[in-house]
Amino acid sequence: MILQLEDDSLLTGLILAEDKENVTLQTGASGSQVQKIAKSNIVARRPSTISIMPMGLLNSRDKEQILDLLAYVLPGGSPDHAVFKHAH
């Protein structure tokens, strides 16, 4: 997500949480860069056209590793998702 702030700066990241007053945004791929932004400072928001998946990530992975990654990403990491309900 791309957030445009009152000062015309842009923040890009993954929204981790949102309530009536704030948006919590992960701005780094490692998960260690998290910012809490007051909604009153946000003028606009739009989806990013760039993936947060690092370029070339799959190039060094084998088929099983890619399938494991998809099995994790598609259900959002939820162990209760149907993708985890059958044996391979």
**24-62 confidence digits (pLDDT tens):** 998 866 556 889 999 999 999 999 888 767 778 888 999
Residues 13 and 30 occupy one common structural domain: yes
pTM (global) more than 0.75: no
Highest mean pLDDT, choosing among 3-7, 33-37, 62-66: 3-7
Residues 44 and 3 occupy one common structural domain: yes
Residues 12 and 45 occupy one common structural domain: yes
Residues 6 and 45 occupy one common structural domain: yes
Q: What pLDDT is stored for residue 2 in this prediction?
A: 93
Domain containing 12: what range?
1-49
Tell me if residue 20 falls in helix, strand or coil: coil
Q: What pLDDT is stored for residue 87 in this prediction?
A: 61
- The runs of H, that is alpha helices, within 1-88 are 63-73
**Cα separation of 74 and 20, whole Å?**
28
Residues 45 and 64 occupy one common structural domain: no
